Amino acid sequence: ITLEYATGVAIVGSGFATGIAGLSAIGQGITAGGSITATGKNSEAFSKGMIFSVMSETFAIFGLLIAILILYGLHLFG
């Protein structure tokens, strides 16, 4: 496969999208820890804690989705 410069930059960009979105794991860990603490003190807080944990996970999913769309747009899948 011969790649052009723009294709290489797009591939690196998709890697950055995934990597930077992966940094949301720090916030997700903090949120999940707080949610576990709140659930330990009050069992009714489980659903709210779970919602906040899921909301912080969406950033990682969006970053992965953007990377897949970039690579799919370059016809690198199949």
In which domain, by residue range, is 68 found? 5-73
Which pTM does this prediction carry? 0.74
CATH number of domain containing 69: 1.20.20
Report long-range pairs for 71-77 (Cβ below 8 Å, ≥24 apart).
71/10, 71/11, 71/14, 73/10, 74/7, 74/10, 74/11, 76/11
Residue 59 lies in a domain: yes
- Judge contact between 10 and 38, C-beta under 8 A: no
Both structure tokens of 55: 């909301």
Reported as a single tens digit per residue, the pLDDT across 7-63 is 899 999 999 989 998 898 898 899 999 999 999 999 999 999 899 888 888 988 999
Residue 78 lies in a domain: no
